[in-house]
Structure 1
């Protein structure tokens, strides 16, 4: 503990495809928005250990426990060993049904905590201190039939599983807190259940053990169905870590819409004590292409397709309303996600401000055009059917790209002191037009191919003239600033240049020399309009793995991949960033981008080392460059034949 806070990495995540909660090794649920991930939190101790509220269960005599997931699930067990006995707490959020794709599962906004004592008697300690509306809603608590009720305004939460004489109620910092203690004899079990709403009985399964069984069976059926579609030899020797990343991506997927949230939390800092604290519980369009490749490789075509369909639908609706296409939306497709601060919370380890919403929603980020076209191309090339509505929308996206590519934007990293002429943004527009041309020549879309080709050639010529700095020995971040940017490692993977091009090789070398610290890569070192610093960025390290592997530098790639594997936490999760000096996690957690990077890097390593890969001719490979047109045409002919 540091100042009352567990390290970020000392948490695990549970969820039910509607929301996600964080459970610390001390048995405390420190973060839980209800009823959905986008909702205000009811437990927020990770952002204010005094005023945020928590739901803690632990054994007296054991401050922290050990944690592990029930194999191939997002159901968690935390074990506290007192020396006289062991308390095992099994945590899950109710989930059942078919998890493939969207719409086949049901979930109740609740957390079930099943307690069992092993080897001897244990003294159990409980704290239940809901704080609604990110700690602004200070509740009253009263006993009711079946348990206890906390309420403030229209918000209500219940707790069942405690006897009235086991609990005491007290007012702390202007709000009610329930504390309880009881003895659990060896072999005995108890269930504590907290539910959104005023009904402690809830709905659905009555026996909490059945709730856990249903969740375990649902998670495992989803994982094992994908395993049955093909070998995962490519993931060796890190198959279990890859499966955990797979489960994280599903955990962050909304079960009804298919949108994938960037992370489960808001405002976990990129620098302890700093102000780089953002809300990542939204879905970024740029995540779709990387996520689609990762999910397809894992055999989850339904999830990849659902995410792409969602991305294209919300962007198309925005476009049809004659509004600018946003780079980020709410998981239900909400366009209004304006940023605001919550002054009542001190922030994780006093890292204020705490924010909700995200100001990036109003930024122009030109890479969105490439993302929208590129992700459809990715589905088409692996044989997925794409709706006519999407294919009819893409020419408009390509035309918009042609009109806007010369504008300044705020870039992939959403800098707050722009706009600039970001080199990565220009290359992403080029990539989108390049893929649009391929789709058109394959007969899948109609449009002004001549204009797209002329514009893509113009972009390419400009980037090669203004984007590469010989003195820097690398592609620069923007035309205006001669600084390194790790996103430029992607240029050969986007097929802007081949991996053996001297400019690609020197960019890789310059990135290693100028952006790595203790073997871990940062995004950039440049003024971005925000005070303070940040840690090494998880995804950038996996991009470096990919670039090294595909450049023939497989030993260096394997070493960096191994370092990143070693930085996973005790249950195989990653945050957005890593402190290169200490290994501590920084930023929001768990972060989809980092886990996507892990999966895709395992794929590129397998390909580079000549092992079987579930993704034929990965983008960036010589085979893909040589055969993508033929492949697209063949897919088109097969579709027309059907």
Structure 2
């Protein structure tokens, strides 16, 4: 079976894990029981060995449509032909009863009009296809036995098996429904009973109500509310309920360039995402989620390394061991190898994470709940660590694998760390190493201005002594390092907002992170434009007062979302989605850009009115 484009997927989940559902009715990615667990269905990374759970029409000439039930993460996939229309509603009930977690994938099929023969195929490939299983057919479904995890497919429709896969064909009458449930079972329980349609209706209604009630707490009433709401629903969907951690993306090894090597595992929580996450959640009014994420941050800060340092990223349960390995038996999405699980960047030195962490704590203390003294004690250690190490070269925000450099963004965020630490200490009258922090903060500022600004290009650049532009410099006015109308910042904006053929980073309003030919990063090959960076450009233009350009780029960027309003990490030259999907950072960027642009447009409208 041919690979679907990445943008042809929707996503469902239950705050423990997610499933990617293609527009053709195939679940091609599902890790269980957590986001970072081994996959059960992984056809998106190997269409032959990865495993899938598909419900699709048998005949050709089908038009496929997908949509979410309004204000929910309940997904509907529609199959339309001249003879009939059928729908598959996919959802995962939210686990809330206090019992040990056991997730359920529920697929509810309804014949809306006419008739349509459908085929079901359920072919698990446990542990990334590395563990074999046996199939046992039972009265109302089938059991997939393996040494580590036993699952069942429950249905009242008779199934067949070829030894590792179960399948069937069926035809429903108009208005008739049937439900399939894929779930974990205990060995002693056996297959169990299939859901009645009444019970299926109840679970569907409860799941819809959960998401709609949650979204009703949003305070956002501005322009582009539908896209902002969808981004909020994505962020919630990527949240691991037991700890409050948010994964960067629920997938691994979807390529940044098809056929290339830029294939990484994003099913972890980056410290870098902290300030953006808290800012986005609090701006929308989701204080409970912000508090849970802050609780995760506090636990991380209680487990610093002996010298007081943080790790770049952590498992959603806070674990540090994210050993990277390659799945050599899988051929990757459209031949993009290697397929990686784990992430070696966890052990890199990335100095910017301290700025993002301190900014998130500062914002939470300001707009959420005042932080406690025990957390401050650990933050004090971190700030002293920054004073000792800010001058080092590092791998930077883009996690380069070609050697350390003096990245300007890393120095900038070290400045942010000390600035926010000083502000927080003053605001709360905490004990602080004020003289040292202040002296180091100002030293960093002066060094960035002298070594990070390239007079020839009239712009801040990627690293000291470099001529290469970097989109991360767009963050400078957002963290109040410089005024958005400072001549140095305006020069940087103008330089970046040029096409690559003229030395810039913007192609048809889309922003590249940096020029990989000018600044090799040790990975090789090209990549697409970075969606998050495009939203950074919108914010920088907004703050600089160029609302017309900012709005045009923002509106244009909205057209690159998929049919469900979802974004991958990058956008390819033909508008295709590239990289892991959907990416939390991109949706956070959308929320922030929409919020600030809407506010500025509203203020201008009020003045002119």
How would you bin the TM-score normalised by the shorter chain? over 0.9
Mapped to 1, the partners of 2:244 and 2:604 lie a distance apart of 29
For these two proteins, the number of residue pairs brought into alignment is 592
Mapped to 2, the partners of 1:570 and 1:71 lie a distance apart of 14
Residue 524 of structure 1: aligned partner: 514
Residue 372 of structure 2: aligned partner: 387
From 280, 305, 308, the counterpart of 2:291: 305
- Say if 2:458 is the partner of 1:473: yes
Mapping for residues 525-564 of structure 1, pairs under 5 Å: 525=515, 526-564=519-557
Mapped to 2, the partners of 1:373 and 1:202 lie a distance apart of 51
Residue 157 of structure 1: aligned partner: 151
Residue 508 of structure 1: aligned partner: 493
Residue 583 of structure 1: aligned partner: 575
Structure 1 pair 559–351 and aligned structure 2 pair: CA distance change class (3 A): same
Structure 1 pair 202–162 and aligned structure 2 pair: CA distance change class (3 A): closer
Deviation at 1:204, TM superposition (A): 11
Residue 572 of structure 1: aligned partner: 565
Q: Is the 8 A contact 1:95 1:105 kept in 2?
A: no
The superposition leaves residues 361-402 of structure 1 with CA deviations (integer Å, 9 ceiling, x where unpaired) of 100111121122111111122242323322222211111110
- SS of the residue corresponding to residue 331 of structure 2 reads coil
Residue 449 of structure 1: aligned partner: 434
Residue 623 of structure 1: aligned partner: none
- SS of the residue corresponding to residue 492 of structure 1 reads helix
Deviation at 1:577, TM superposition (A): 0.4
Q: Is the 8 A contact 2:140 2:194 kept in 1?
A: no
Deviation at 1:95, TM superposition (A): 1.0
- Say if 2:582 is the partner of 1:595: no
Deviation at 1:127, TM superposition (A): 0.6
- SS of the residue corresponding to residue 111 of structure 2 reads strand
- Say if 2:70 is the partner of 1:79: no
Mapped to 2, the partners of 1:512 and 1:203 lie a distance apart of 57
Structure 1 pair 64–530 and aligned structure 2 pair: CA distance change class (3 A): farther
From 277, 280, 287, the counterpart of 1:294: 280
Residue 596 of structure 2: aligned partner: 604
Residue 131 of structure 2: aligned partner: 137
Residue 251 of structure 1: aligned partner: 237
Deviation at 1:93, TM superposition (A): 1.0
Tell me whether 431-440 or 272-281 shows the greater mean CA deviation. Answer: 431-440
Tell me whether 11-20 or 73-82 shows the greater mean CA deviation. Answer: 73-82
Mapped to 1, the partners of 2:99 and 2:493 lie a distance apart of 44
The superposition leaves residues 269-289 of structure 1 with CA deviations (integer Å, 9 ceiling, x where unpaired) of 000000100000000011110
The superposition leaves residues 201-248 of structure 1 with CA deviations (integer Å, 9 ceiling, x where unpaired) of 389999222221111111111111x14xx4x332x1x11111100000
From 168, 178, 197, the counterpart of 1:180: 168
Residue 31 of structure 1: aligned partner: 29
Q: Is the 8 A contact 1:22 1:30 kept in 2?
A: yes
Mapped to 2, the partners of 1:492 and 1:336 lie a distance apart of 35
Q: Is the 8 A contact 1:575 1:586 kept in 2?
A: yes
From 202, 206, 219, the counterpart of 1:214: 206
- Say if 2:36 is the partner of 1:66: no
- SS of the residue corresponding to residue 246 of structure 2 reads coil
Structure 1 pair 557–584 and aligned structure 2 pair: CA distance change class (3 A): same
- SS of the residue corresponding to residue 127 of structure 2 reads coil
Mapped to 2, the partners of 1:612 and 1:442 lie a distance apart of 32
Mapped to 1, the partners of 2:230 and 2:11 lie a distance apart of 11
Tell me whether 58-67 or 240-249 shows the greater mean CA deviation. Answer: 58-67
Residue 11 of structure 1: aligned partner: 9
Residue 146 of structure 1: aligned partner: 140
Structure 1 pair 290–106 and aligned structure 2 pair: CA distance change class (3 A): farther
Deviation at 1:473, TM superposition (A): 2.0
Q: Is the 8 A contact 2:287 2:368 kept in 1?
A: no
Deviation at 1:578, TM superposition (A): 0.5
Deviation at 1:606, TM superposition (A): 1.9
Deviation at 1:608, TM superposition (A): 2.2
TM-score by length of 1: 0.89
Deviation at 1:322, TM superposition (A): 4.9
Tell me whether 25-34 or 290-299 shows the greater mean CA deviation. Answer: 290-299
Deviation at 1:77, TM superposition (A): 0.6
Deviation at 1:59, TM superposition (A): 2.2
Mapped to 1, the partners of 2:202 and 2:71 lie a distance apart of 18
Please list every run of 5 or more consecutive structure 1 residues that lacks an aligned counterpart in the other structure. Answer: 98-102, 614-642
Residue 201 of structure 1: aligned partner: 192
From 108, 111, 121, the counterpart of 1:117: 111
Deviation at 1:196, TM superposition (A): 2.0
Structure 1 pair 314–521 and aligned structure 2 pair: CA distance change class (3 A): same
Structure 1 pair 358–444 and aligned structure 2 pair: CA distance change class (3 A): farther
Deviation at 1:308, TM superposition (A): 2.0
TM-score by length of 2: 0.94
Structure 1 pair 268–383 and aligned structure 2 pair: CA distance change class (3 A): closer
Q: Is the 8 A contact 2:90 2:107 kept in 1?
A: yes
- SS of the residue corresponding to residue 242 of structure 2 reads coil
The superposition leaves residues 298-350 of structure 1 with CA deviations (integer Å, 9 ceiling, x where unpaired) of 1101111211221232132134x556310100001010001110011110000
Residue 261 of structure 1: aligned partner: 247
Q: Is the 8 A contact 2:154 2:194 kept in 1?
A: no
Q: CA RMSD in A?
A: 2.0
